[in-house]
Amino acid sequence: MQLPQFTELHAKQLSTFLNTQPQAMTFEQSQGYLFGVICSPDPLDVHEWVDVILNNSANELDEETLFLFMAFYHQISEQVFEVGYKLPAQYDSAFCSQWSQGFLTASNAYTQKLLAATKLDAPYKEALETAQATLSFFALDTQLISQIASQNSMNTLQLCEQQYDLMGDFALGFAELVEIVALNSGLYNDDGWDG
């Protein structure tokens, strides 16, 4: 079956569906999570990532909803690898918090493995740590974000808007960075990379 083009209507349907599922990720968390999954050097099978989003109830999914998830994944994948991944134009604290939480859930699995690679040189480690910290910044506790802002003599909104701008920059090149780091870690080779 041909995957449908993922539209605003589909996004609303998926968002509504996720809101009815106990302990499932929100739509925004799912966006961040799928972005992280798509950038991974270890591709996940469709049922594996759907299972994480739905908190282990992927088996009960009807075909139409599964295709919606797959179209959503395809849209994000296209953005990551073809047109450039773009976050919404305006900073929104609720969106950022959810997106960063989802991203962190997906990326921790492979960034920890890459950062622990003995062959990986320090500049690569620093680049990956910085990128992950930037993209997951809004998963931090709001009190901690306020504390960071005051330590930098900024108000919280200034800091958040600045971080959001950086997030957009890092999101554009994160998949490429992960690929470079993975290849330099000695854990993957060109044949083992599925981008």
**Rounded Cα distance, 195 and 51, in Å:** 22
Alpha carbon distance, N-terminus to C-terminus of the chain: 23
**Rounded Cα distance, 97 and 78, in Å:** 23
Largest Cα–Cα distance in the chain? 55
pLDDT at 118: 92
Taking 60 as the threshold, does the pLDDT of residue 1 lie above it?
no
Tell me, letter by letter, the H, E, C secondary structure of 44-113.
CCHHHHHHHHCCCCHHHCCHHHHHHHHHHHHHHHHHHHHHCCCCCCCCCHHHHHHHHHHHHHHHHHHHHH
| Band of residue 91 on the pLDDT scale cut at 50, 70, 90 | very high
Taking 90 as the threshold, does the pLDDT of residue 164 lie above it?
yes
pLDDT digits (tens, 9 = 90+) for 40-89: 999 899 989 999 999 876 567 888 899 999 999 999 999 999 999 999 99
Q: What is the pTM of this model?
A: 0.93
- The domain 11-185 is placed in CATH, from the list 3.40.50.300, 3.50.50.60, 2.60.40.10, 1.20.120.740, at 1.20.120.740
pLDDT at 195: 40
